[in-house]
Structure 1
Amino acid sequence: MRPRPISFQAITRQDRHQVMELVQKAISAAHGWVEDSQFYSNKMTTIRFVISAGKCSEFRQTLTESGLMVEMPNGFEPADSDDPDAELAGTIQLTFIHDQPDLRQTIPAVPG
């Protein structure tokens, strides 16, 4: 049986580039990889990832120790798996609090 997906939320005033690098390193340290990411201006990012089931607590602890306020909104705290090498899918939503204006992206005109 495949483990239930996990979901994290984090709010921070830290620089978004540094936080993104931190999250990527935490995922790699948890023997995982990023599957997808969505950027919503410079205010929020959602990352879909896979990590080793046995490294979930370490992943969360790494983020918390770096100053991120990490919550699990679905209340699901994964227990140690019978197979710590099993793949565990997850998402993390990062909200950035700052006074910077929204990023403007220039979208080229589509011919036609």
Structure 2
Amino acid sequence: MDKIKAEILAALAAGDAARAKALLAEIHRAKAFHIGDYYVGIEGALEAVARLHAYHIALAALAAPPAGEGGVTGRDSELATKFSRALSACSRIAPPEGGGELDEFYRKVTNELNSLVESLCSRS
């Protein structure tokens, strides 16, 4: 997972939307396997899915069309916008609050997004 994170950080740092789109395909394949692991009860699978989903959101913030023009919606769109702002300001993202069963998942996603922001901002 460290290799893919390094590739994602490089694409984000370079603002390379074409590379971000290619990486999204890799993330989607990996996430499908980890979602299966989660449903059969493999330990650590939720964390892996959350990490990959954070990568998806970060890449989508660079490569996907804005919400309303297709692309991500709801919490993902909110987090993609927050990620872009946090990256511009080198600040942290607060997890979305919606109440519900996905709150723990989105806390993990937000933690990983913050890790990406910290990594990218430390390069400056």
TM-score range relative to shorter protein: under 0.3
Q: Which has the higher helix share?
A: 2
User: What is the TM-score normalised by the length of structure 1?
Assistant: 0.27
> Normalization by structure 2: what TM-score?
0.25
The structure whose RCO (Cα within 8 Å, separation 6+) is larger is: 1
Higher Cα Rg: structure 1 or 2? 1
